[in-house]
Amino acid sequence: MNRYVTLKNVAVGLALTLLISEPCTGDPARTQSPVWQTTGRMRDARISHTSSLLLDGRVLVAGGRYQDILSSAELYDPNTGRWADTGSMHRERYHHRAVSLPDGRVLVIGGFGNFENLSTVEAYDPATAIWTEVQPMIVARSDHTATVLADGRVLVTGGLHNSNGLTSAEIYDPASDTWSPAHDMRAGRSSHTATLLSDGRVLVAGGVDKDVELDSAELYDPASDTWTLASRMAFTRSYHTANLLSNGMVLVAGGETISSDEVGPAELFDPATGTWTISGQMNEPRFLHTANLLPDGTVVVVGGSGGPNILSSTEIYHPDTGQWTRSGRLTKRTTQHTATLLQNGEVLVAGGVNPDGITDFAYLGPP
């Protein structure tokens, strides 16, 4: 079901310290969980924004929503732990996508703004701190995916348009600043995932269409501009995550099912066979979370929504055993946040919403 957490728009913030003991919750596994370290708070509280790692190690956060839809952008400097304004985009947007291009620029694509899905695209140049409008997409969309292909072009798939999941896909060429249509997917979908595989193909999995969650998956081959159906997942899911592991397999975790329940079991996709297998179960099922591949090959999952609750918990997936272990907690529960792997191996978690409202909090971890 196509839903987002909606809470009163109140920015919150309180400086807290590392390694505070978890208040007693009745769960012995959580009573002594270490806390992720808080870092500088963003200048604007926001949800449904994007965050992108720059070549110099800083992080660009753009757009999102607070009381209004935002055009503002800011930069996080890991060396100082502080945020700085870096100009505004030409259009307010949220539920957009952003990718880092090989030339160092960040491309911000589509989204929702001014009561409509957007086709507009902008590029941020860190060398000049200037936003430049580039060629718009062929089709306006939000809640789509954007994937940098092996040759540096950008594949955009699906998304919402007039409340329906799109089958359309298109490719942006940064060298010529042009969009060209790619072959349509086999199924319309939004809030899905798209993962670049080691062989250059792209795996698209799950999502939602017409308020129905999907278990289907398909593979895009840029060399032939063709889509091929893969095996179906064991569970329907949307608002899930997908990460390419060091062994070339893809881990899909969490998500919301057709019955509006959260998915606990994770699944592994094997590109060699085109099949899925169950691989462990999260301690707390969740959707609208984040997942990052860490330098040691494990995957850390942060926050999200679980049933009626927003979560502060984090977990780590271990590919060698297929097991999930708890990995501390945030000082505030959060969902619809971003999480970016920094060059030093830490993960920066920024923004989101908790029971008090939309937040400007940021964290570093795992502890």
Question: What is the per-residue pLDDT across 230-243, written as a single tens digit (0 to 9) for each?
Answer: 999 999 999 999 99
Q: Pick from 239, 242, 254: which is nearest to 196 by CA?
A: 242
The average confidence (pLDDT) of the chain is: 91
**Mean pLDDT, residues 283-312 taken together:** 96
Domain presence at residue 331: yes
Instruction: Report the distance separating Cα 132 and Cα 326, nearest Å.
Output: 42
Q: What is the pLDDT of residues 26-35, one digit of tens each?
A: 333 344 568 8
Domain presence at residue 364: no
Report pLDDT for 62. Answer: 98
Report pLDDT for 161. Answer: 86
Tokens of residue 257, six digits: 């099912």
Of 55-69, 99-113, 256-270, 278-292, the one with minimum mean pLDDT is: 256-270
Report pLDDT for 11. Answer: 31
Q: Check whether 331 has a pLDDT greater than 80.
A: yes
Domain hosting 277: range is 100-336
Domain presence at residue 22: no
First vs last Cα of the chain: how many Å apart? 34
Report pLDDT for 8. Answer: 29
Q: What is the pLDDT of residues 111-124, one digit of tens each?
A: 999 899 999 999 99
Number of domains forming the structure of the chain = 1
Q: What is the pLDDT of residues 210-223, one digit of tens each?
A: 889 999 999 999 99
Domain presence at residue 20: no
CATH code for the domain of 162 = 2.120.10.80
Report pLDDT for 18. Answer: 25
DSSP-derived secondary structure letter, 139: S
Domain presence at residue 2: no
Q: Which residues contact 364 (CB under 8 A, 6 or more apart)?
A: 36, 37, 38, 39, 342, 346, 347, 348, 349
Domain presence at residue 322: yes
Burial (CB count <10 Å: 0-12, 13-18, 19+), residue 284: buried
Question: Is the distance from CB of 226 to CB of 220 less than 8 angstroms?
Answer: yes
Domain presence at residue 111: yes
Domain presence at residue 154: yes
Q: Pick from 254, 259, 313, 246: which is nearest to 279 by CA?
A: 254
Strand ranges (DSSP E) for 89-141? Answer: 97-100, 106-109, 112-113, 116-117, 121-125, 130-134
Q: Pick from 334, 341, 342, 325: which is nearest to 361 by CA?
A: 334
